[in-house]
A and B are shown apart, each in its own frame.
Chain A
Amino acid sequence: MATTETAPQTTATNGSGDELLVVENLVKHFPVTRGIIFQKEVASVKAVDGVSFTVRKGETLGVVGESGCGKSTMARCVMRLLEATDGRIIFDGRDITHLQRAEMRPIRRELMMIFQDPYASLNPRKRVGFIIAEALEVHKLGTDAEIKKRVQELLEVVGLNPEHYNRFPHEFSGGQRQRIGVARALAVNPKLIVCDEPVSALDVSVQAQILNLLKDLQDEFGLTYIFIAHDLNVVRHISDRVMVMYLGHAVELAGRDSLYTAPKHPYTGALLSAVPIPNPEQGRARKQIVLEGDVPSPLNPPAACWFHPRCPRFRDGHCNVETPPLYRFEDDHVAACHYPLERWPLTDEEIRRPSGPPMSPPPAESA
């Protein structure tokens, strides 16, 4: 398996015992088959290709990356909505990677998801009360009267009128629908909520309402989030730690401040420099690292470092030969690059020319 080369031992686990979720070397390949009766696997889309991370209790792990980098597939594997091809998912001390449906059911109560599209993720033919109550009924958490009371409580918690219990989703605006999605996820008192682009479809003012709501709920109920988004501003606002994904790999994982003020991976640098700043003077003065070309196809990803065909620091004979492991820097900061950025921001010239020798293996497994 290709993933063993990516040094699975170098997870960001620090073994402090407060991990709610540990993901080890997660792999998800989608087969591409040819033939109708005798299906032959001719290739595979390597959507997630060896991702390891941990999520601690009460924190928010932000996940950023461009479309097609595998962040949603990763989330779906963690939720067990997709079967992982390889790797381990340990939730609250228990390996849930291969649990059967029935064994999984009690765990599903503790693992909820908020989806991107508030229009598509609510059943248009069911009343809001039913949508929120469904999980409570499936898990048999109370009598009808208790469930109704709980649903009204939840509507109030997310800032909706409890009397709107009997309305249909189409009677609500986009932001209100996303609140319903949040209420549904909260209904069964989950430990971990995976938010897959929860604010991407919303206008900025509504986005601010939902982000504030998510933060308030976290403070109130001690929730843990995995927050997936492609907007780096949003991720910075809500996360404690951030993971950057590229082509099915985690290329960098660090505390929020560390990642945004001292990115190590050139891809992270490029992402940060591309974010438009809502300030005309600063925005026009900043230096952008403009990446050439497009993200390669995960059907046939580049050899060795996945980023090398677009990397401004590419060194022939090294980056395209040796796969970079996750090197460890100070403060639990890890990045998969042989020539990490020395500081931030850098000038054009400095970006192109790494000053030091390459990082030396072994990648500090002992740390």
Chain B
Amino acid sequence: MALLEVNDLKTHFRTDDGIVKAVDGVSFSVEKGQTLGIVGESGSGKSVTCLTIMGLNPKANTISSGEALWKGKDLIRMSSRQLRNIRGDDIAMIFQDPMTSLNPVKSIGAQLIEAVMLHRDVSKKQARARAVELLKAVGIPRAERRIDDYPHQFSGGMRQRVMIAMALINDPDLLIADEPTTALDVTTQAQIINLMIKLQQDFGSAIIIITHDLGVIAEAADDVVVMYAAQVVERAPVTNLFNRPHHPYTWGLLGSLPRLDADVERLTQIQGQPPSLLNPPRGCRFHPRCPYVMEICKTEQPALAPISTDPDHLQRCHLDEETKDREAAKLLQGMVAA
């Protein structure tokens, strides 16, 4: 049984303008010790998917359906008390912005100790020892002294390390990292990604990493989910996805990326803008921007189905496989040719 299994998850927000379908039928699963990467642009629903799993959406205007089975129990239907026991203990989350997700008026020690004592029946002294241990594990020098410092006394990269320490302090089975390196510089980003990979090996947690950076995905993920307009458009093991991308949107993402290992005069760009989720296009949601659009794409939504050669590789597109093979090969060749 998978550690987390998400089936047909839907999150709709009621707003003054109508119902925003922020997540519209998303399914995936995460195995123990594995890393799932969710990639997509702003507004594709990747963060909302995780907030829904964690039960962190505002109650007043959210309608959620589908299921998110955590070790067989549905998180969507749990009471807030049950969820509170799971959050920060079994499932922990790291947020994008380390500047705003730590409490500025409490020392980091107080915040770490609070996280332990909420879930474990231990003395304050034991909790503090645990906090120091974790700060050392994430590579904060002089952890015994720095534990009493306040968030503003740390740099951005160090704060993100504190966030990771806090998330790992109760040995979670699943760590959800929402854009953990987006706010960081490239050398710090490398440090944090390496740290997460190392800690995963040491602690054996599963990780969901949300990002818009395909480079980070290639480096850290085992499986990849590509989201577009609140839906999954492609899902595959990481090497399969990069060796043989199957969806025109994934091609667009790969082609629009300037990269060190390839020389292109002009980046392939995806025309137009992502659609409004108030009123997504009929048929395939990508069809207004797709260069391969056919008549059927405008009326009928393709199902998320496996490709013929690889049952683990799912994609949502009407295009025939022969054309896709040809186009994907062209795209990849363009990158190698450089």
Residues in A lying within 8 Å of B, measured CB to CB: 66-67, 173-176, 203-209, 211-212, 215, 230-234, 236-238, 260, 270-284, 288, 290-291, 294-295
Contact = CB atoms under 8 A, between A and B. Distances in A.
Contact of A276 (B158, B188, B215, B273): B215
A204 B261 contact: no
29 contacts: A66-B188, A174-B42, A205-B41, A205-B253, A205-B269, A206-B41, A208-B255, A208-B257, A208-B267, A212-B269, A230-B186, A232-B186, A233-B259, A234-B258, A236-B260, A260-B260, A273-B190, A276-B189, A276-B219, A277-B259, A278-B214, A278-B254, A278-B257, A279-B218, A280-B242, A284-B219, A288-B190, A290-B187, A291-B187
Contact of B257 (A176, A233, A290): A233
Nearest to A64: B186
Top 9 A-B pairs, shortest CB-CB distance: A276-B215, A208-B256, A237-B258, A274-B190, A66-B185, A208-B267, A203-B41, A205-B270, A278-B214
Identify which of B155, B186, B190 gathers the most chain A CB atoms within 10 Å of its CB: B186
Nearest to A176: B273
A294 B258 CA distance: 27
B216 A276 contact: yes
A74 B41 CA distance: 32
Contacts of A288: 190, 194
A174 B157 CA distance: 27
B201 to A, nearest CB: 14
A274 B219 contact: no
Contacts of B194: 288, 290
A67 B185 contact: yes
Given A205-B270, A212-B266, A271-B187, 20 more contacts: A211-B267, A230-B186, A232-B186, A233-B260, A234-B258, A237-B258, A274-B186, A274-B187, A275-B186, A276-B219, A277-B215, A278-B254, A278-B257, A279-B261, A283-B215, A283-B219, A288-B190, A290-B187, A294-B155, A294-B188
- Chief secondary structure at chain B's binding surface: helix
Interface string B191-212: 1011000000000000000001
B101 interface: no
B7 interface: no
Contact of B189 (A236, A238, A273, A274): A274
Find the residue from B41, B155, B216, B259 having the highest chain A CB count within 10 A.
B259
B239 interface: yes
A236 B258 contact: yes
Given A275-B215, A279-B218, A280-B242, A212 B267 contact: yes
Contacts of B302: none
A263 B332 CA distance: 27
B269 A66 contact: no
Given A260-B260, A277-B215, A279-B261, A237 B186 contact: no
Contact of B41 (A204, A272, A294): A204
A45 to B, nearest CB: 16
Interface of B: 41-42, 155-158, 185-191, 193-194, 212-219, 238-239, 242, 252-261, 264, 266-270, 273
Nearest to B155: A294
Nearest to B289: A205
Contacts of A212: 266-267, 269
A204 B212 contact: yes
Contacts of B156: 67
Contacts of A281: 239
A277 B260 contact: yes
Given A66-B185, A279-B218, A203 B42 contact: yes
Contacts of A276: 189-190, 193, 213, 215-216, 218-219
A262 B64 CA distance: 53
A206 B44 CA distance: 14
A291 to B, nearest CB: 5
A204 B256 contact: yes
Contacts of A284: 219
B158 A294 contact: yes
Contacts of A280: 218-219, 238-239, 242
A205 B271 CA distance: 8
A206 B238 CA distance: 24
Contacts of B213: 276
Contacts of B155: 294-295
B268 A208 contact: yes
Given A230-B185, A277-B261, A294 B157 contact: yes
Contacts of B217: 278
Contact of A209 (B158, B190, B261, B269): B269
A47 B221 CA distance: 38
A270 B189 CA distance: 12
Contacts of A282: 261
A85 to B, nearest CB: 26
A180 B242 CA distance: 35
Contacts of A232: 186, 260
B300 to A, nearest CB: 25
A109 to B, nearest CB: 30
A66 B256 CA distance: 23
B306 to A, nearest CB: 20
Contacts of A277: 215, 218-219, 259-261
Nearest to B214: A278
Contacts of A208: 255-258, 267-270
A19 B84 CA distance: 63
A277 B321 CA distance: 27
A230 B214 CA distance: 17
A288 B188 CA distance: 12
Nearest to B259: A233
A285 B41 CA distance: 27
Contacts of A294: 155, 157-158, 188
Nearest to A69: B185
A233 B258 contact: yes
Identify which of A260, A277, A291 gathers the most chain B CB atoms within 10 Å of its CB: A277
Given A274-B190, A277-B261, A290-B190, A207 B185 contact: no
A204 B187 contact: no
A313 B155 CA distance: 25
Contacts of A260: 260
B260 A275 contact: yes
Given A175-B273, A294-B155, A271 B186 contact: yes
A215 B189 CA distance: 29
